Chains A and B, each alone.
Chain A
Amino acid sequence: MTTYREAVREALREALIRDDRVFLMGEDVGAYGGCFGVSRGLLDEFGPERIRDTPLSESAFVGAGIGAALGGLRPIVEIMTVNFSLLALDQILNNAATLRHMSGGQLGVPLVIRMATGAGRQLGAQHSHSLEAFYAHIPGLRVLSPATVADARGMLWTALQDPDPVLIFEPIALYNSEAELPADAGAVDIDSAVIRRAGTDVTLVSYGGGLRVAEAAAEELAGDGISAEVIDLRTLRPLDEATVLASIARTHRLVVVDEGWRSVSISAEIAARAAENGYYLLDAPIARVCTAEVPIPYARQLEEAALPQPGVVAAAVRKAVS
């Protein structure tokens, strides 16, 4: 069995071995071994030039990653969590996402930024938010969220081949999750959503940390004879709308599970696109199960109550199919 954490580490090792332009840079990535233990051992293997500890200066080291990409390297920048990435939002939005267009196509930024996202570890509001939608709003970026161990292993290499900035959101609640990983596990497609479970009665759309919740709900519903199809978006920008619409054409019902807040979220985008382009395929109103509109609290029962839970998803599905 391989953990999600080990899968990301193996992806990093592979990238560092395959391309000498690749280096990893971020807070605690070197001597400490990564805030979440992802890069443990890499400093010894690759040395301090390629596993580069940075000061707590998000804007400077993310911007330096952008500059290094302009200078011909393939940096992987790690930000401890999406909450802290906001200190570098100027660099990500005004430079990484914008330079190619603003320069009339002269300057591309082939940069990968990894960051942890989401709740589930009782870390309180300033470490627990799911802000992927902020970044998925921005033209010029590609936004990924690996929800499985195989995608954690496979997305990084594909992302490094991209000539544009790619943001990878790793849900903190998944780092300890485990799965069997084939010995030849490698690069995966980052253009398409994937059907994780086939079904006929309802389409459950999710991504990242929400996928486990959708899958658990589907399992519960199967016991009641309700067949749910579970789609993992994988890529939040650009969205693979076609896979979602094709599924709705089979199931005629849509429930979206999103660990972001409901307002102005990925779930809002999916629902809007389904309404715009799949309205006549639907036999029931679209439903959404999202995080409660509160800063994520510390206390376990409050944190759990704030997050989407399988039972709530199952209830939304039962209502949709009734």
Chain B
Amino acid sequence: MTAVDDGAASAPGERIELLRQMIRIRRFEERCVELYSAEAIRGFLHLSIGEEAVAAGLLGVLEPGDAVVSTYREHGHALARGVPMNAVMAEMYGRATGCSHGRGGSMHLFDGERRFYGGNAIVGGGLPLAVGLALADSLRGRNTVTVCLFGDGAVAEGEFHECLNLAALWRLPVLFACENNRYAMGTALKREHAVTDLSLRAAGYGLASWPVDGMDAVEVAAAARRALESIRGGRGPCFLELRTYRFRAHSMYDADRYRDKAEIEQWKARDPIPRLFAELRAAGAAGPDAQVKLEAEVDAEIEAAVAAAESAPLEPITDLTRHVYAETR
């Protein structure tokens, strides 16, 4: 791993915020597991438990005008981007108050106001959108960056190669953020890629590219800041390979037979939440009950979101065909 220690994201308040955001995402998804088992939420459910440092570190340093393109494992990304938890939870329930009005579900969270463009279930399908959003912003003279999140699986798709070439060719303000969790669904990195050092792939297209410890929210935030600064300075797109791990299976349907239990335990030992908490305690920035306090606050937020979703109206069936085309031309 390349050590990034430029002092950024080192303020204690900022570290507490990273911790809070990670706990928020972790507890939200844990609650979703219970709700899924109770059949309150349905469909595919892809959890990012273990990967929270990426969402908190990367999305926490964006400006409001920046754009985000995400994947089907995006609850954490949406929450860290500021999509209200009530709207995300209501979408899980398929309710009218959901951030996609019940038409998206877990895999298709959108928030136009916050420039959160999915929620793309087609692996790699969001990369061209990110290129286009960055093209529009740059042609319109906005000094914004489009962050494009995708997994190691997407690196095998043709769109990855087409889009990195195009973004580099046109020097577009895109931050390609690969969440390398080492598995494309159930296929291990070494079974899907001839070259498993993914940051080398981007370097081949002329992008500034480096690997990051994706289990360390502080390091993710620092690397993201460095990349954003370079992109905003007009030096073209960057690629971050965020090396992380999901502690749970690909989806709730997955029996997780393709991974060694010892491997999972090794990565759990690097859990980003206790790791950051321990650092804060060691630095005297957090007391022994800080985590418990944060969890209690977060749990209250989650329970309020669940209650709101459960009492939210259903999107009426008479509105089934709305939003296929614009209502006014």
Chain A positions near chain B (C-beta within 8 angstroms): 23, 49, 54-55, 57, 59-73, 75, 90-91, 94-95, 99-108, 139-140, 142, 161-164
Contact = CB atoms under 8 A, between A and B. Distances in A.
Contact of A139 (B133, B324, B329): B324
Contacts of B327: 105
Contacts of B324: 100-101, 139-140
Contacts of B140: 71-73
Contacts of A162: 326, 329
Interface in B291-329: 322-329
A23 B139 contact: yes
A162 B67 CA distance: 24
Interface stretch (B103-111, B233-241, B246-254): B103-111
A73 B324 CA distance: 20
Contact of A60 (B100, B162, B322): B162
Nearest to B170: A52
A63 B159 contact: yes
Contacts of A54: 166
A142 B166 CA distance: 28
Contact of A64 (B101, B117, B118, B135): B135
Contacts of B198: none
B223 to A, nearest CB: 24
A108 B326 contact: yes
B238 to A, nearest CB: 18
Contacts of A49: 139
Nearest to B326: A163
Interface stretch (B6-14, B124-132, B224-232, B271-279): B124-132
A139 B322 CA distance: 11
A68 B142 CA distance: 13
B110 A103 contact: yes
Given A55-B166, A163-B329, A90 B132 contact: no
Contacts of A57: 162-163, 165-166
B112 A64 contact: no
A60 B176 CA distance: 14
Contact of B104 (A73, A103, A108): A103
A62 B127 CA distance: 11
The 3 closest A-B pairs by CB, nearest first: A67-B132, A63-B128, A71-B136
Contacts of B134: 67, 71
Contacts of A66: 128-129, 132
A68 B128 contact: no
B153 interface: no
B162 A164 contact: no
B59 to A, nearest CB: 19
A95 B128 CA distance: 10
Contact of A105 (B101, B127, B136, B158): B101
B214 interface: no
Interface in B142-173: 146, 158-159, 162-163, 165-166, 169
Contacts of B102: 104
Contacts of A142: 325
Given A55-B165, A67-B129, A106-B112, A100 B122 contact: no
Given A23-B139, A100-B325, A163-B329, A71 B162 contact: no
Contact of B128 (A60, A100, A163): A60
B141 to A, nearest CB: 12
A71 B329 contact: no
Given A64-B132, A68-B132, A103-B112, A95 B125 contact: yes
Contacts of B101: 104-105
